[in-house]
Amino acid sequence: MKIFQRWMLCAALFLSLTGCGINNIPTFDENVTAAWSNVENQFQRRADLIPNLVEVVKGYAAQEKEVLIGVVEARNKATQMQLPEDLLSNPEAFAAFQANQGEITKALSKLFALSEAYPDLKANQNFLELQAQLEGTENRIAVARRDYIGAVRQYNTELRTIPGRWWHSLMYSDMQKRESFSAEEGSDETPTIKFN
CATH number, domain of 56, equals: 1.20.1440.20
Does residue 181 fall inside a structural domain?
no
pLDDT at residue number 186: 59
Does residue 180 fall inside a structural domain?
no
13-39 pLDDT per residue, tens? 655 555 577 889 999 999 999 999 999
In three-state secondary structure terms, 50 is helix
- For the four alpha carbons of 87, 88, 92 and 96, in that order, the dihedral sign comes to positive
Give the C-alpha separation, 10 to 19, whole Å: 14
- Specify the pTM: 0.81
The answer to whether 101 and 78 are in contact (CB under 8 A) is: yes
In this predicted structure, the answer to whether residue 8 has a pLDDT above a threshold of 90 is: no
Domain count, the chain: 1
Cis omega (within 30 of 0) on the bond before 163?
A: yes
In this predicted structure, the answer to whether residue 61 has a pLDDT above a threshold of 60 is: yes
42-57 pLDDT per residue, tens? 999 999 999 999 998 8
Burial environment of residue 162 by CB neighbours within 10 A (0 to 12, 13 to 18, 19 or more): exposed
pLDDT at residue number 46: 95
